[in-house]
């Protein structure tokens, strides 16, 4: 029987834009996602999150559901434009009150809040008037926003995440253009990534100095899929390493090792911005834990330059900068996102992170399975999702047994929700949402988590 320690953190996660709705009431300003969703052909079926699942008006019901399912932690994000409608300047007191109410409701139900400051929904005014993450001043704007959050919520919130998946912001938002703000470039992603790291570091420095008395922890969450060498040829082994460094090393190396990976500096030249000596000092050691979002695995091989590309951006950066080809094993089960189910890849990634970054405390802040859930007789029997969670948590347990300091696990997601460019066509939640009635219906996976958390394993 698999058992986790009594202090292992069992949580589930959401993000503000995907669930809150209430996009233009009580003083909230528009975000880049509010605008992006109005452009034809950007979101599947023309969906948007103007109402989403209306968590804004139903947060008490949602917290009660969390409580009933046994989760001890809940990771959610704050909408920057809900508490600072223009991204800077005036504070919206009604937005502050909403998050105060949510935090208080969580604590009253013995659920620990884990708060992400930025999960992609940049205030639209900052994008239109200040060029968003392309402007170096964004680090100061983000620091000021973080200060508002620390001041109003830090007496009760003791677990902070500055940024969610800066890779996605950089590559999908400013490289491929499939996410807001929808820009396409082979150089902007690296500048955006640079500013994201500086924004993170400034916010952490503020917390560690001005708000040290709050006695919390603060870190960043990066996403990464495992890259397994396709063969034991040296060039394929090197390609897999290179793919990982262009993916997670891009953001983790500066924080843990003090600068960008050498392979990125060598290959990108002047397209990769340089940190000053003072910036390196500010960034290094600026995370109390390693936040990791992980879903899948692919084989990596040296690109033979025959012109065949497996994915334009799927290997963690811009393909032509890496010379890496990615493939999947045809025997691997696939999710509705066509992400392969490869539990051993989760273990290998945890091991790689632990060895490269001197065995930090790690929290898996997202892991989950998208499937075509069907409601039958009032129930959802999501057996494939159950198998996924069971197998990936077995890999997590193996990592802990082998000395990796994995401290917690957050299932993505608490609810079916607006899944960005895929709209409402993809279901990730352990609770089914009937989008006509907005009824919340626990799936089999939710009941499994309840028993697993109760028994500290299964």
SS (H, E, C) the chain: CCECCCCCEEEEECCHHHHCCCCCCCCCCCEHHHHHCCCCCCCHHHCCCCCCCCHHHHHHHHHHHHHHCCCCEEEEECCHHHHCCCCCCCCCHHHHHHHHHHHHHHHHCCCEEEEEEECCCCEHHHHHHHCHHHCCCHHHHHHHHHHHHHHHHCCCCCEEEEEECHHHHHHHHHCCCCCCCCCCCCCHHHHHHHHHHHHHHHHHHHHHHCCHHHCCEEEEEEECCEEEECCCCHHHHHHHHHHHHHHHHHHHHHHHCCCCCHHHHHHHHHHCCCCCHHHHHHHCCCCCCEEEECCCEEEEEECCCCCCCCCCCCCCCCHHHCCEEEECCCCCCECCCCCECCHHHHHHHHHHHHHHCCCCCEEEEECCCCECCCCECCECCCHHHHHHHHHHHHHHHHHHHCCCCEEEEEEECCCCCCCHHHCCCCECCCEEEECCCCEEEECHHHHHHHHHHHCCEC
458 a known binding residue? Answer: no
164 a known binding residue? Answer: yes
Is there a domain that residue 414 lies in? yes
Contact yes or no for 115/159 (Cβ under 8 A) = yes
Claim: this prediction has a pTM higher than 0.75: yes
Is there a domain that residue 83 lies in? yes
Number of compact structural domains in the chain: 1
Average pLDDT of the residues in 287-310:
86
pLDDT at position 310: 46
pLDDT at position 1: 85
Contact yes or no for 168/223 (Cβ under 8 A) = yes
45 — alpha (psi -120 to 50), left (phi > 0) or beta? left
C-alpha–C-alpha distance, residues 360 and 407, integer Å: 10
Q: Compute the radius of gyration of the chain from its Cα atoms.
A: 21
pLDDT at position 320: 85
Is there a domain that residue 250 lies in? yes
On the question of pLDDT at 108 being above 90, the answer is yes
Is there a domain that residue 1 lies in? no
Pairing relation of β-strands 297-302 and 324-327? antiparallel
What's the token pair of residue 25? Answer: 């009431």
419 a known binding residue? Answer: yes
pLDDT at position 224: 98
C-alpha–C-alpha distance, residues 8 and 400, integer Å: 11
Q: What is the pLDDT of residues 210-219, one digit of tens each?
A: 999 999 999 9
Higher confidence at residue 188 or residue 320? Answer: 188
Longest dimension (CA), the chain: 62
Give the CATH number of the domain where residue 254 resides.
3.20.20.80
Is there a domain that residue 4 lies in? no
Q: Which domain holds residue 322?
A: 9-454
Average pLDDT of the residues in 214-228:
98
Is there a domain that residue 77 lies in? yes
Q: What is the pLDDT of residues 244-288, one digit of tens each?
A: 999 999 999 999 999 999 999 999 999 999 999 999 999 999 999
What's the token pair of residue 236? Answer: 């394929």
Contact yes or no for 324/359 (Cβ under 8 A) = no
When the pLDDT of each residue in the chain is averaged and rounded to a whole number, the result is 96
Give the bridge partners for 161, in sequence order: 116, 219
What's the token pair of residue 305? Answer: 């330059």
359 a known binding residue? Answer: no
Is there a domain that residue 233 lies in? yes
On the question of pLDDT at 333 being above 50, the answer is yes
Average pLDDT of the residues in 302-326:
69
On the question of pLDDT at 94 being above 50, the answer is yes
pLDDT at position 304: 78
pLDDT at position 274: 98
| Res. 306 pLDDT band, cuts 50 70 90 | low
pLDDT at position 229: 98
| Res. 315 pLDDT band, cuts 50 70 90 | very low
Contact yes or no for 43/421 (Cβ under 8 A) = yes
Active-site amino acid positions: 165, 366
Is there a domain that residue 273 lies in? yes
Residue 40 CB-density burial (10 A; 0-12 exposed, 13-18 middle, 19+ buried): exposed
CA angle 310, 316, 317 (to 5 degrees): 90
pLDDT at position 317: 59
On the question of pLDDT at 311 being above 60, the answer is no
412 a known binding residue? Answer: yes
């Amino acid at each position: 029987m698999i058992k986790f320690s009594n202090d292992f953190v069992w949580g589930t996660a959401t993000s503000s834009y995907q669930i809150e709705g209430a996009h233009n009431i009580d003083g909230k300003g528009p975000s880049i996602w509010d605008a992006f969703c109005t452009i034809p052909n950007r979101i599947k079926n023309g969906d948007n999150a103007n109402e989403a699942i209306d968590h804004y008006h139903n947060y008490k019901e949602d917290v009660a559901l969390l409580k009933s399912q046994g989760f001890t932690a809940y990771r959610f994000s704050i909408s920057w434009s809900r508490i600072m409608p223009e991204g800077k300047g005036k504070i919206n007191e009604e937005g502050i009150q909403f998050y105060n109410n949510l935090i208080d409701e969580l604590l009253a139900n013995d659920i620990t809040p884990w708060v992400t400051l930025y999960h992609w929904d940049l205030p639209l005014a900052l994008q239109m008037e200040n060029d968003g993450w392309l402007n170096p001043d964004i680090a100061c704007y983000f620091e000021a926003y973080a200060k508002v959050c620390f001041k109003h919520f830090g007496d009760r919130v003791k677990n902070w995440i500055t940024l969610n998946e800066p890779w996605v912001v950089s590559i999908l938002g400013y490289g491929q253009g499939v996410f807001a703000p929808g820009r396409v470039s082979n150089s902007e992603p690296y500048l955006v990534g640079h500013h994201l790291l500086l924004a993170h570091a400034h916010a952490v420095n503020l917390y560690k100095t001005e708000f040290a008395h709050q006695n919390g922890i603060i870190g960043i969450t990066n996403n990464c899929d495992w890259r397994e060498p396709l063969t034991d040829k040296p060039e394929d082994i090197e390609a897999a390493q290179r793919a990982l460094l262009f993916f997670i090393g891009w953001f983790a190396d500066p924080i843990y090792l003090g600068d960008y990976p050498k392979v990125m500096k060598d290959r990108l030249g002047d397209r990769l911005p340089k940190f000053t000596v003072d910036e390196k000092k500010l960034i290094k050691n600026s995370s109390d834990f390693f936040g990791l979002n992980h879903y899948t695995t692919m084989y990596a091989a040296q690109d033979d330059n025959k012109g065949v590309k497996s994915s334009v951006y799927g290997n963690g950066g811009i393909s032509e900068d890496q010379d890496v080809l990615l493939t999947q094993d045809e025997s691997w089960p696939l999710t509705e996102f066509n992400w392969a189910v490869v539990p051993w890849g989760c273990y290998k990634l945890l091991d790689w992170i632990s060895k490269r970054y001197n065995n930090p405390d790690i929290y898996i802040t997202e892991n989950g399975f998208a499937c075509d859930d069907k409601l039958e007789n009032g129930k959802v029997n999501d057996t494939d999702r159950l198998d996924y969670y069971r197998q990936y948590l077995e890999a997590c347990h193996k990592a802990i047994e082998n000395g990796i300091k994995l401290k917690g696990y957050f299932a993505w997601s608490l609810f079916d929700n607006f899944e960005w460019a895929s709209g409402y066509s993809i279901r990730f939640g352990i609770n089914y949402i009937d989008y006509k009635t907005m009824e919340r219906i626990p799936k089999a996976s939710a009941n499994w988590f309840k028993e697993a958390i109760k028994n500290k394993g299964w």
